Chains A and B, each alone.
Chain A
C-alpha cells in the first residue's frame, strides 16, 4: 500500500515535469508567433471601435476578444509539432534526426579456441518496419576463421550477431576498440551491446522522431483517411460507423427529452410528484452513465436496445433536472399576471411556464447531448458491431494507430458540431435568453 502510493506520487511528479515541458514548448511557440505577428501588424492594424478607446482592458472581460490569428497559428503549430515529432515527409527538411535507414557496417576482431586472431565485417541493411528486403551479399572472405556476415534489421529494432559455433570464439574488438562482456559501445551508425554470452546486440541509431506505432505522421493519417473513406474498415464504411453512433445518440436523447421534460415539469408543479420522484432523480443524477454499462449489457446484451437504453438514462436525468429548474425559474409575478389576465391552468402551462423554461431546457439539452456523445463512444468501446467507438477499439487491437487518431478527430469534430447546432437552435428559438 505504502509503496503503491509512493509510486503514484513519483509518477505524478514525473507527469508534472512532462506536462510542464510540453506546455513550455507550446507557449514558447505562442510567444514567438505573437512577436512575429506584432512585427507584421505594427502600423497596419488600425484599432477600431469603442473597445479600442478603452484604457483599462486588463480585468475588463468585455474588452478581451479572441485573436483569430492566434487561433489559426495555434492549430498550425499543433500540426507542425506533430509533423516534426514524427519526421513527416511533408516538411522540407528534417528538424529532428530520424532513425538510420539503409546500409551500414562495422568490423570486428575475434579470437578462436586455437588462440588465433581474425577480422571480419558485418554488413547491416536497416529497413522500414514491415518491409522484408533481402540481405545483401556479405563482403568477400579474406580467408581467416572470422567470417563476414550480412543481416537485415528493421528501424528501431535490434539484431543479434551470435558467436560462431565452436567454443572459445570470442569477440575482442569492434572497429579497433577493445570490448568486454556487458559493454555498450558505439559504431558509426548505432550502438552495440556485448551480451553475457558474448554475442553482439546491434541497434542502429533510433533518432529522435516517434515511431508510427505510437504516432504516425500526418500524411500517413491522411492517406489512411482517404483509404477509409473508400474502403471502410473491417467491412464497415467510415461514415457508416459515424452514422450509427449519431443515430444512437439522437434516438437516446430524443427518448430522454420525451420522458425527462414532462417529468421535470411534473416535479416542478406538483408537490406529491416531486416527493415521489426526488429520491430516484437525486440518486441517479450523480451516477455516471458509464457505470451502468455492465448492468445494461447483462440486461439487454450488446445490441442496439442496450445502447439506446443507456443513452436514454444518460439524457433522462439531465433533462428532468433542467425542466424542473426551468419551472422553478418562472417568476411568480409572470404567473400572477397571466392568472389576472384570465389564463387557465392549461394556458399557464403552455403559454407561460413552457416558453419561460425553454432557456433552461436548452442548456440542459446541450449538456445532455455532450454526455450522450461521450457515452455512446464509451459504450461502443465495450461492445458494438458498428460505430465510431467500435472502429477505434478494433483498430487499436491491430495497432493501427492512424485509424485510432482519425476516429478521435472525427469524434471531436462531431461533438463540436453538435454543440454548434444546439447553440444555433438556442439563438433562434430563445432569443430573449440572457437579455432581461
Chain B
C-alpha cells in the first residue's frame, strides 16, 4: 500500500478558440516509498501540470492518484511542495517560515522550536533563524523553502525546478543537500527540472516526457544519485556512463524540440 500510484491520468485543457490541448495522456506510474524520481522534458510536455496534479492543485480530467491507499483530491500536508522561487513568506523570519506548517496545526511552540533548530542545522543556516527573508541570498532562500517543507514531515516532497533560479556553484551545493536530505530522511522525492545533468544526478529513476500529448517517453534507472550521496558531484559526473547517458537524453530532447519548432513553422 505504501507509495504513490498514478492510474491512467489524463489532462485536457479547453482553449478559448474552441480547440483543446492534451497536456497529459494516459500517464501510469508507480513510485515506491523513498524513491528519488526526476522528471525531464522539453517545455510544454506537461511535467508541471503533472506535479500540480500530484500536489492536488489541479484535478485531472481522467484517472486517479493514490497515495498510501487513499485518493489525492486536494492539497494536503502529506505532500510537501518546493517552488522555483521559494514562495516564502516575507513577513516572517526564517524560523517562522520553517515552522509554518506545524504552527498551523497548533503544535506546541517548544516542539516547533526544537524541530526548527534541527532543520536549520540540516540545511546549514544555524545562525540565520532570526533573519528576515529579504536579507537572504537566493540559495539561502531555497534552503529555507526546503527546510519549511521538511518541517511538516510530508510523505512525498514535490519539487518544481527548485534550483532553476540559482547560479551554477550554489546549484551544485544545493544538489548535494537534496541528496543528503533524501538519504537522511528517506522521503519520496519527485523533482522536475530543465537541466539534464541535474536530472541524472538527482534521480534514481528518470522520466523523460514528450509533448503533444504529454506522455512518458522513456524511463531510466540510474546509479548516480546513490553514488552522489556524501560524495563530490563533480566526481560522479566523471563516471564513464554519465557523459554518454547525458548526450543520449540531450539528443532525445533536442529532437523533440525540433519537431515542435518544425510543426509551429509549418502550421
Contacts and interface: CB of A to CB of B under 8 A. Distances in A.
Interface of A: 331, 333-334, 336-344, 347, 351-352, 355-356, 358, 430-432, 435-436
Contacts of A344: 104
Secondary structure of the A side of the interface? helix
A343 B87 CA distance: 15
A334 B134 contact: no
B2 to A, nearest CB: 20
B76 A336 contact: no
A336 B57 contact: yes
A350 to B, nearest CB: 11
A431 to B, nearest CB: 7
A152 to B, nearest CB: 74
A176 B133 CA distance: 91
Contact of A334 (B74, B75, B89, B101): B89
A341 B101 contact: yes
B47 interface: no
B148 interface: yes
B79 interface: yes
Given A340-B79, A340-B80, A432-B134, A355 B55 contact: no
B182 interface: no
A192 B133 CA distance: 80
13 contacts: A333-B83, A333-B85, A336-B55, A337-B87, A337-B148, A338-B100, A340-B75, A340-B77, A340-B81, A340-B154, A342-B76, A342-B104, A435-B90
Contacts of A341: 77, 80, 100-101, 104, 148-149, 152
Contacts of B105: 342
Interface string B117-152: 000000000000000111000000000000011001
A333 B74 CA distance: 15
* Most chain B beta carbons < 10 A, residue from A333, A342, A435: A342
A430 B132 CA distance: 12
A336 B75 contact: yes
Interface string B69-103: 00000111101110101011111000000001100
Given A336-B57, A340-B80, A351-B89, 8 more contacts: A333-B85, A339-B57, A341-B80, A341-B101, A341-B149, A342-B105, A352-B89, A432-B132
* Most chain B beta carbons < 10 A, residue from A333, A347, A352, A435: A333
Contact of B132 (A333, A334, A351, A431): A431
Nearest to A429: B91
Nearest to B96: A351
* Most chain B beta carbons < 10 A, residue from A337, A430, A435: A337
Contact of A432 (B85, B133, B152): B133
Contact of B87 (A331, A342, A351, A355): A331
A38 B201 CA distance: 63
Interface of B: 55, 57, 74-77, 79-81, 83, 85, 87-91, 100-101, 104-105, 132-134, 148-149, 152, 154
A339 B87 CA distance: 12
A109 B140 CA distance: 101
Contacts of B148: 337, 341
Contacts of A351: 89, 100, 104
B101 A342 contact: yes
Contacts of B101: 341-342
Nearest to A343: B104
A432 B90 contact: yes
A343 B149 CA distance: 13
A374 to B, nearest CB: 32
Contacts of B75: 336, 339-340
Contact of B81 (A337, A352, A356): A337
Nearest to A339: B75
A342 B55 contact: no
A27 B91 CA distance: 45
B135 to A, nearest CB: 9
Nearest first, the 10 closest Cβ-Cβ pairs linking A and B are: A342-B77, A341-B101, A432-B90, A333-B87, A339-B75, A355-B91, A435-B134, A340-B81, A337-B87, A333-B83
A333 B55 CA distance: 12
A256 B81 CA distance: 39
Contacts of A347: 104
A334 B152 contact: no
Nearest to B100: A341
Nearest to A334: B87
Contacts of B152: 341-342
Contacts of B57: 336, 339
A200 to B, nearest CB: 80
A436 B136 CA distance: 10
A337 B101 CA distance: 10
Nearest to A430: B91
Contacts of B74: 339
A375 B149 CA distance: 50
A339 B56 CA distance: 10
Given A334-B89, A337-B87, A347-B104, A436 B134 contact: yes
Contacts of B85: 331, 333
